């Protein structure tokens, strides 16, 4: 899948191993791993099939967004854009769910 970053910090976090963006090393590592999984996915079904990601649609005012697990506490927030055959994943942010 193609990726678009809402914030340039996340683009740099994915590619620059020395950049932390203020996150703990475990979160940085998990983010980079998720980015590899997103880029390797053909569509969102590939992400849903990896149960450990807990890829799920959000509710309420965020019903247009999805989240996936980075660890027990942090989630990667994304939006799916485009047609079903040509989806773009917009990386919105990393949030603490607790």
Domains of the chain, by residue range, sit at 2-96
Q: How confident is the model at residue 1 (pLDDT cuts 50, 70, 90)?
A: confident
Residue 86 has a pLDDT of: 67
- Report the predicted TM-score, pTM, of the whole model to 2 decimal places: 0.90
pLDDT 10s digits, 70-93: 999 999 999 998 876 668 999 999
pLDDT, residue 43, reads 84
Q: How far is Cα 74 from Cα 27, in angstroms, rounded to an integer?
A: 8
Q: What is the pLDDT of residues 16-70, one digit of tens each?
A: 999 999 999 999 999 999 999 999 998 888 999 999 999 999 999 999 999 999 9
CATH of domain 2-96: 3.30.2310.20
């Amino acid at each position: 899948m193609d990726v678009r970053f809402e914030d340039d910090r996340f683009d740099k976090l994915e590619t620059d191993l020395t950049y932390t963006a203020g996150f703990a090393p475990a979160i940085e590592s998990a983010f980079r791993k998720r980015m590899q999984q997103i880029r390797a996915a053909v569509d969102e079904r590939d992400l849903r099939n990896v149960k450990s990601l807990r890829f799920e649609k959000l509710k309420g005012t965020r019903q247009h967004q999805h989240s996936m697990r980075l660890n027990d506490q942090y989630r990667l927030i994304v939006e799916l854009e485009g047609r079903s055959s040509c989806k773009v994943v917009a990386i919105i942010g990393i949030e603490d769910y607790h």
